[in-house]
Amino acid sequence: MERKTKQDVDSGWQSSTNGERAWKEATDRVSSRNADARKAGRIEREEYERGREDERRARAAKRDAKLLGRRKK
């Protein structure tokens, strides 16, 4: 049985252009989905934090108004 050397096997090998293109497209889709998810997550967090800050300010204003009301009496 004749055995081929590594050089004989590697010398005729060519990459699959279609396979590489498909792999690149798949990784690009995943990257795009990840970027979209990061963007949506950032927007959601900003809205959540904005709501928390608005609520905190409202409570502080209510507390301050209550304290000012006590001092006037």
Domain that holds residue 38: 27-73
Is there a domain that residue 62 lies in? yes
Q: What is the dihedral of CA 57, 59, 61, 66, to 10 degrees?
A: -170
Is there a domain that residue 2 lies in? no
Is there a domain that residue 22 lies in? no
Is there a domain that residue 13 lies in? no
Please tell me the predicted confidence (pLDDT) of residue 16. 79
Q: Which of 52, 54, 58 is nearest to 66 (CA)?
A: 58
Cα–Cα distance measured from residue 15 to residue 19, given in angstroms and rounded to the nearest whole number: 8
Please tell me the predicted confidence (pLDDT) of residue 38. 98
Please tell me the predicted confidence (pLDDT) of residue 15. 65
Condensed to tens digits (0 to 9), the pLDDT of residues 14-27 reads 667 888 999 999 99
Is there a domain that residue 6 lies in? no
pTM of the model: 0.56
Is there a domain that residue 57 lies in? yes
Q: Which of 70, 47, 67 is nearest to 59 (CA)?
A: 67
Element of type H or E holding 3: none
Condensed to tens digits (0 to 9), the pLDDT of residues 41-68 reads 999 999 999 999 999 999 999 999 999 8
Is there a domain that residue 67 lies in? yes
Cα–Cα distance measured from residue 48 to residue 54, given in angstroms and rounded to the nearest whole number: 10
Is there a domain that residue 71 lies in? yes
How many structural domains are present in the chain? 1
